[in-house]
Structures are given as C-alpha cells and as structure tokens.
C-alpha cells in the first residue's frame, strides 16, 4: 500500500515537473522570438522606396527596403547583415548551402561516396542542391548593383533552378522509384531529365531577355511552365510510389509527400504574389511570397534528402544488386547540364547587353 502511495505521489510530482518544464521552455521560446522580432525591427535598413529605384528592380506590391544602385561591391556584401527586402531571400539559401554541405559530410560517413558507386547519384544530387542555393543567394545579394548585374545574376539563378530539377529527378529514379519502373526507364529517364533541365534554363533566360517591366503574365507562364514540367517529371517516381503504398506507415513516404506539398505551397505563394498582394508594403522585409517560397524550397530539399536516404536504407539489398552506375555517367550528366546552361546564359547575356546597351 505504501508503495502505491509513493508511486502516486511521484507520478503527480513528475507530471507537475513536466508541465512546469514545458511551460518554462514555451515562455523562453516566446521571449526569444519577441527579442528576435524587436532586433529585426531595430536593424539598420535600406530606406529607398519603389519610386526611388529603376523599374527593373521593383517587384509587385513591394514598396520599401530597396538598395541603392551603382554602389561598390562591398556595399552589397555588407547588406547581408542589414535589413532590406532581399535579406530573407539571401539568408534562407545561405542556410541551405551550409545545411547541404553538412549533409554531404554526414551522409558520406554512412554511404562512403568515394568507394560506394551506388551512392554516387546521391552525391550528385547534393552537389546540385548546393549549386542551386549558391546561385540563388548570389543573385539576390548582388543583383541591385546595376541593370547589367541584375540581369546577369538572375540568368545565373536559372542555372541553379535547372540543376536542382535535374538532381532531384536523378535522386528519385535511383533510390525511390519502384524496381519495375527503374528497370523500364532508367537511362531514358535521365536523358529526358537532362533535356528538360536545358529547356527550363533556356526558356527562363529567354523570358528574362524578351519581356520588360511591368512584366506581362505571359512572362511567368514562360518561366513556370518548363519548370513545372521538369518538377512533375522529377517527382513521377515518387508519385508512383506514393500511389501504390501506405503513406503513413513509412517515414520516407511521409517525407516525399511533404516535399511535394511544400513545393506546391511555395510555388503558389511565389506565383500569385501572396500574401503581399493583400497588404502592399506590410511584408516588405519579412513574409512576402518570395521569402516563403525560398523557405519552402529549403524545407523541400531537407525532406527530399532524408526521405531518399531512408529509401536507400530500406531497399539497399535491391539497389546493391543493380549494375553499378558509372562515375562518368553520374558526374558527366551533371557537368554536361552545367555546360549547356552556361552556354545559354552567355548567349542571352550578350543579347541583353546589346539590346539594352547596359554597362
């Protein structure tokens, strides 16, 4: 009887302690968030409004926080630590770079990239994700220097978009596709993926060159359509897998479903200029659609890498029985896409320079 009393007493004290601890940590979290918000509001900010910069640098429903043009390169680098309407875009992808590099070394200890040929598609996809984040962070940090730099930066950004779509599909077909689908379409799938990657880069660069501000809706269609086709093709192995499986019984499948939903949510924010469409000027520094899209892309990459790794763990015996992928095929396909994208960017950069007489 005394043991039961003691147990009841201990359980009630443990419950109280647990509730107190949770309440304490929630209070601390709230305080830190409040301090971070206050610090963000107090950060030095760039005060230029949309009517004080050339139209090329303006975005719909964004009214404040623009940086001056034709400043030294150091001005734009230092803006990394100040508040402007691109700060979130830059930092979300700088964090992505660091996390993908961390994952590269983390998964190397488990997959042994340098000796395990079956891990090479994983290494290639991590490299394409890192390049995508680098291109995006670079573009959003430095594009305000001049009209010429602005156009060039976002042409480079499209290289990252093209590579990320290719790397995602390469990852999905090798590790997450059902075996019958992999055997039926492996090399053809990668070849089509390569073509779609080149097409996405080309059409995005063409839209950047051909259309002028204020951009007509056809510009976004020209950019989003090839990217959407590339994305749909890259997730085709995941869709087949999700359709034929019990999703909530497997953490890898939950990650795959999450990355699809997150990408659709982010693309909706970006494509329809929400939520800033409903409150122009209120979300200039934090919370505009482009910011939310960047955060979603980062979370998509995180879900993708962890989900695919869990697939590899589950199907390792099947994957190891396949013919080993050749390094020239894995790395060569990535470098060939980079080469084609680089040629496209150089071509359109020259056309832009001649057409707009940019310095």
37 and 186, same domain (yes or no): no
CATH of residue 273: 1.20.1070
111 and 19, same domain (yes or no): no
71 and 186, same domain (yes or no): yes
On the question of pLDDT at 323 being above 50, the answer is yes
Q: Per-residue confidence at 7, pLDDT binned at 50, 70, 90?
A: very low
Give the number of domains in the chain. 2
State the pTM of this model: 0.86
pLDDT > 70 in the chain, percent:
88
Average the pLDDT over 315-338 and give the result: 91
**pLDDT tens sequence across 190-204:** 999 999 999 999 999
Q: How much is the pLDDT for 208?
A: 92
On the question of pLDDT at 82 being above 60, the answer is yes
31 and 119, same domain (yes or no): no
290 is in an annotated binding site: yes
88 and 215, same domain (yes or no): yes
36 and 55, same domain (yes or no): no
29 and 56, same domain (yes or no): no
Supply the range of the domain harboring residue 330. 50-356
17 and 115, same domain (yes or no): no
11 and 86, same domain (yes or no): no
140 is in an annotated binding site: yes
pLDDT > 90 in the chain, percent:
74
Q: How much is the pLDDT for 16?
A: 44
256 is in an annotated binding site: no
Q: How much is the pLDDT for 44?
A: 57
Average the pLDDT over 50-59 and give the result: 92
Q: How much is the pLDDT for 14?
A: 43
* Of 144-148, 268-272, 300-304, 324-328, minimum mean pLDDT range: 324-328
First-to-last C-alpha distance (Å) of the chain: 89
Q: How much is the pLDDT for 267?
A: 96
- Pair of tokens at residue 287: 């919370």
Strand partners, 83: 45
Q: Share the mean pLDDT of the chain.
A: 89
In total, the chain counts a number of residues equal to: 359
**pLDDT tens sequence across 228-272:** 999 999 999 999 999 988 888 899 999 999 999 999 999 999 999
How far is residue 329 from each of residues 50, 165, 170, 333, 334, measured CA to CA in Å?
48, 17, 11, 6, 9
Average the pLDDT over 30-40 and give the result: 63
On the question of pLDDT at 89 being above 50, the answer is yes
SS3 of the chain: CHHHHHHHHHHHHHHHHHHHHHHHHHHHHHHHHHHHHHHHHHCCECCECHHHCCHHHCCCCCCCCECCCCCCHHHHHHHHHCECCCHHHHHHHHHHHHHHHHHHHHHHHHHCCCCCHHHHHHHHHHHHHHHHHHHHHHHHHHHHHCHHHHHHHHHHHHHHHHHHHHHHHHHHHHHHCCHHHHHHHHHHHHHHHHHHHHHHHHHHHHHHHHCCCCCCHHHHHHHHHHHHHHHHHHCHHHHHHHHCCCHHHCHHHHHHHHHHHHHHHHHHHHHCCCCHHHCCCCCCCCCCHHHHHHHHHHHHHHHHHHHHHHHHHHCHHHHCCCCCCCHHHHHHHHHHHHHHHHHHHHHHHHHHHHHHCCC
Instruction: Report d(CA 242, CA 236) in Å as an integer.
Output: 10
110 and 12, same domain (yes or no): no
62 and 208, same domain (yes or no): yes
58 and 15, same domain (yes or no): no
Average the pLDDT over 201-214 and give the result: 92
Average the pLDDT over 214-229 and give the result: 92
Q: How much is the pLDDT for 325?
A: 87
Average the pLDDT over 172-195 and give the result: 91
**47 phi and psi angles, rounded to 5 deg:** -90, 0
């Amino acid at each position: 009887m005394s043991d039961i009393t003691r147990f009841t007493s201990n359980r009630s004290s443990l419950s109280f302690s647990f509730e107190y601890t949770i309440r304490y940590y929630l209070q601390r979290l709230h305080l830190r968030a409040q301090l971070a918000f206050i610090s963000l509001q107090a950060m030095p900010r760039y005060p230029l409004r949309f009517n004080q910069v050339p139209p090329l640098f303006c975005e719909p429903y964004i009214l404040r926080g623009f940086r001056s043009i034709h400043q030294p390169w150091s001005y734009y680098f230092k803006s990394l630590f100040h508040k402007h309407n691109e700060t979130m875009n830059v930092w979300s992808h700088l964090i992505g770079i660091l996390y993908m590099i961390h994952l590269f070394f983390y998964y190397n200890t488990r997959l042994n990239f340098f000796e395990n040929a079956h891990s090479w598609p994983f290494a290639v996809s991590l490299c394409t994700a890192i390049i995508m984040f680098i291109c995006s962070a670079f573009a959003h940090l430095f594009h305000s220097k001049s009209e010429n730099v602005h156009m060039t930066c976002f042409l480079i950004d499209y290289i990252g978009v093209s590579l990320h779509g290719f790397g995602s599909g390469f990852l999905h077909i090798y590790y997450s596709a059902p075996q019958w689908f992999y055997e039926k379409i492996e090399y053809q799938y990668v070849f089509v993926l390569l073509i779609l990657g080149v097409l996405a880069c080309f059409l995005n660069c063409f839209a950047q060159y051909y259309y002028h501000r204020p951009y007509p809706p056809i510009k976004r269609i020209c950019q989003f359509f090839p990217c959407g086709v590339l994305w749909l093709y890259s997730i085709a192995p995941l869709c087949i897998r999700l359709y034929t499986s019990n999703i909530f019984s497997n953490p890898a499948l939950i990650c795959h479903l999450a990355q699809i939903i997150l990408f659709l949510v982010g693309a909706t924010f970006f494509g329809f200029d929400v939520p800033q469409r409903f409150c122009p000027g209120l979300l200039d520094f934090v919370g505009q659609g482009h910011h939310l899209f960047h955060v979603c892309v980062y979370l998509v990459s995180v879900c993708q890498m962890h989900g695919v790794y869990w697939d590899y763990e589950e199907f390792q015996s099947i994957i190891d029985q396949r013919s080993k992928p050749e390094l020239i095929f894995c790395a060569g396909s990535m470098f060939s896409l980079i080469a084609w994208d680089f040629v496209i960017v150089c071509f359109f950069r020259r056309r832009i320079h001649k057409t707009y007489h940019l310095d």
